A and B are shown apart, each in its own frame.
Chain A
Amino acid sequence: GAVVSQHPSWVICKSGTSVKIECRSLDFQATTMFWYRQFPKQSLMLMATSNEGSKATYEQGVEKDKFLINHASLTLSTLTVTSAHPEDSSFYICSAREAASGAFQETQYFGPGTRLLVL
Chain B
Amino acid sequence: AQTVTQSQPEMSVQEAETVTLSCTYDTSESNYYLFWYKQPPSRQMILVIRQEAYKQQNATENRFSVNFQKAAKSFSLKISDSQLGDTAMYFCAFMTSGETSGSRLTFGEGTQLTVNP
**Residues of A participating in the B interface, judged by any CB pair closer than 8 Å:** 32, 34, 38, 41-44, 46, 49, 57, 91, 93, 95, 97, 104, 106-110, 112-113
- Report yes or no: B45 in contact with A95, Cβ–Cβ below 8 A: yes
Q: What's the Cα separation between A34 and B106 when bound, in Å?
A: 12
In whole angstroms, what is the CA distance A97 to B103 when docked? 9
Cα A43 to Cα B105 in complex, Å, equals 12
Question: Which bracket fits the contact residues of B?
Answer: 20 to 34
Binds A, one of B18-26, B61-69, B73-81, B107-115: B107-115
Q: Residues on B close to A: CB < 8 A?
A: 33, 35, 37, 42-47, 50, 89, 91, 95, 97, 102-105, 107-110, 112
Judging by beta carbons under 8 Å apart, are A46 and B104 in contact? yes
Q: A46-B104, A106-B95, A110-B44 are in contact. List 12 more A-B contacts (CB 8 A).
A: A41-B110, A42-B109, A43-B108, A43-B110, A57-B102, A93-B43, A104-B50, A107-B35, A109-B47, A110-B37, A110-B45, A113-B44
Min distance, Cβ B89 to any Cβ of chain A, angstroms: 8
Residues of A contacting B37 in the complex (Cβ-Cβ under 8 angstroms): 110
Contact check: which of A49, A110, A112 meets B102 at CB < 8 Å?
A49
Which A residues touch B109, using CB under 8 A?
42-43
The number of inter-chain residue pairs (CB within 8 angstroms) is 52
Report the Cα distance A24→B104, complex, angstroms: 19
- The smallest beta-carbon distance between B80 and chain A, in angstroms, is 23
Q: Are B42 and A106 in contact (CB under 8 A)?
A: no
Which residue of the partner chain A has the closest CB to B107? A43
Cα distance A43–B110 when bound, in Å? 6
| Partner pick for B103 among A38, A106, A113, CB 8 A cutoff | A106
Q: How far is the CA of A47 from the CA of B105 in the complex (A)?
A: 12
Contact partner of A112 (CB less than 8 A), chosen from B43, B47, B95, B104, is B43
Are A113 and B110 closer than 8 Å at their CB atoms? no
Q: Quick check: B42 and A112 within 8 Å, CB to CB?
A: yes
In whole angstroms, what is the CA distance A21 to B57 when docked? 40
Identity of the chain B residue whose Cβ is nearest the Cβ of A32 in the assembled complex: B103
Q: How far is the CA of A7 from the CA of B109 in the complex (A)?
A: 26
Instruction: Tell me the minimal C-beta distance from A96 to chain B in angstroms.
Output: 11
